[in-house]
Amino acid sequence: MRTRGRPGQRTREDRAALVANRHGDDTFAYYAAKYGLTPPGEEAVTDDPPYGDRWTTWDDSTAGERGPQPYPDWVVTELGAVDTELGILKTGKEADVFLVERSVPNEDRGTIMAAKRYRDPKHRMFHRDDGYREGRRDRESRVNRAMAKGSAFGREAVAGQWARAEFDALNALWTAGVAVPYPVQILGTELLMEFIGEGDGVAAPRLAQLRPEPEERDDLWDQLAHNLELLALAGFAHGDLSAYNLLVQDGRLVVIDVPQIVDVVGNPHGREFLDRDVRNVGAWFVARGLDPARVDDLSDALARDARLA
């Protein structure tokens, strides 16, 4: 049991309001058990933080499980910090994204992060594992066998591999200067990253939700082209690019959902992956009036950047 002082910022009533929407089903209980959150009633008899909170997991991640240095100044590294679940942002096909606040008790210092929690394959709605996972076999044969058998342990390992793949991709892309959320840390099947949105926890809209005027549309296209060129120069295609995997915060385009990025140089179908990404997201822009020639131009430019043309 860890003893580290109790959070003093929120009252029990504040917390009750925050967690009120978590009582509907057993989702919270499941996540509480898996991610170390205090379940109802526990705080009265143990030294754990209040219901829905946990001690910061920052020190549970090793050096290779934390984002690139220098850490941005908003990253809370204090060992006495507390993580508070603020609610679910979105349930996706293969992961759920939660809002987590990491704050230092009795200090006016805290930050909101997005926690992407991968589901084990049995609880997914769609499998992108086959194909993409090739070559990503775990060196440990016990893990391989468990994964092949689809046991609970094996399924957990697959979810962990996806979380790790996305964390590594975010690291590589952040370092290459691509506009992606800063990857704070990875722990098992949970990836903590920069929250793209307002300080009050309202997430940035997906590109697909916007109806931009021509001028804004062209600006977003230019930002997209710039980011995809940085990706291509680093040898990658996104692999699942669409107007749903791009967020727009105050006019700034941010690329998300990157666990499947493709090494276009090593992959025999590299050029096809580059083209498909551009085609998919290009169709959205063309439907909103973008000159189709610009889509073809971008495909050609990316192939050159990745030295595939």
Ligand X SMILES: Nc1ncnc2c1ncn2[C@@H]1O[C@H](COP(=O)(O)OP(=O)(O)OP(=O)(O)O)[C@@H](O)[C@H]1O
> What does 227 interact with, of ligand X, Mg ion, none (CB < 5 to 8 A by kind)?
none
Measured from the CB of residue 170, what is the shortest distance to Mg ion in angstroms? 14
Residues 48, 53, 83, 240: which is the catalytic one?
240
Let me know: does 112 contact 86? Beta carbons within 8 Å.
yes
Measured from the CB of residue 307, what is the shortest distance to ligand X in angstroms? 29
Q: Which residues pair with 111 in a beta bridge?
A: 102
One of 193, 234, 264, 278 touching ligand X (CB under 6 A): 193
- Closest residue to Mg ion in the complex (CB): 257
Place of tokens 């290779």: 64
257 tagged catalytic:
yes
> What does 203 interact with, of Mg ion, ligand X, none (CB < 5 to 8 A by kind)?
ligand X
Measured from the CB of residue 196, what is the shortest distance to Mg ion in angstroms? 13
In the shown chain, the binding pattern of residues 235 to 274 toward Mg ion, with x for contact by CB under 5 A and - for none, equals ----------x-----------x-----------------
Burial pattern 68-91, b for ≥16 Cβ within 10 A else e, equals eeeeeeebbebebbbbbbbebbee
Measured from the CB of residue 10, what is the shortest distance to Mg ion in angstroms? 31
> What does 196 interact with, of ligand X, Mg ion, none (CB < 5 to 8 A by kind)?
ligand X
Residue closer to ligand X (CB basis): 43 or 94: 94
130 tagged catalytic:
no
CA-nearest of 248, 78, 160 to 168 is 160
SS (H, E, C) the chain: CCCCCCCCCCCHHHHHHHHHHHCCCCHHHHHHHHHCCCCCCHHHCCCCCCCCEEECCHHHCCHHHECCCCCCCCCCCCCCCEEEEEEEEEECCCEEEEEEEEEECCCCEEEEEEEEEECCHHHCCCCCHHHHCCCCCCCCHHHHHHHHHCCHHHHHHHHHHHHHHHHHHHHHHHHCCCCCCCEEEEECCEEEEECCECCCCCECCEHHHCCCCHHHHHHHHHHHHHHHHHHHHCCEECCCCCCCCEEEECCEEEECCCCCCEECCCCCCHHHHHHHHHHHHHHHHHHCCCCHHHHHHHHHHHHHHCCCC
Residues 257-276 that bind ligand X (CB under 6 A): 257
One of 19, 100, 104, 114 touching ligand X (CB under 6 A): 114
Residues 83, 257, 275, 277: which is the catalytic one?
257
- Closest residue to ligand X in the complex (CB): 92
Measured from the CB of residue 89, what is the shortest distance to ligand X in angstroms? 5
> What does 163 interact with, of Mg ion, ligand X, none (CB < 5 to 8 A by kind)?
none
Residue closer to ligand X (CB basis): 66 or 116: 116
Measured from the CB of residue 162, what is the shortest distance to ligand X in angstroms? 9
Q: Rule CB under 6 A: say whether 255 interacts with ligand X.
A: no
Residue 89 sits at the vertex; the CA angle it makes with 66 and 27, to the nearest 5 degrees, is 95
Residues 201-240 that bind ligand X (CB under 6 A): 203-204, 206
One of 19, 32, 97, 278 touching ligand X (CB under 6 A): 97
Instruction: Give me the residues that bind ligand X (CB under 6 A), please.
Output: 89-90, 92-95, 97, 114, 116, 181, 193-197, 203-204, 206, 244-245, 256-257
- Provide the annotated active-site residues: 240, 257
Where along the sequence are the contacts to Mg ion (CB under 5 A)?
245, 257
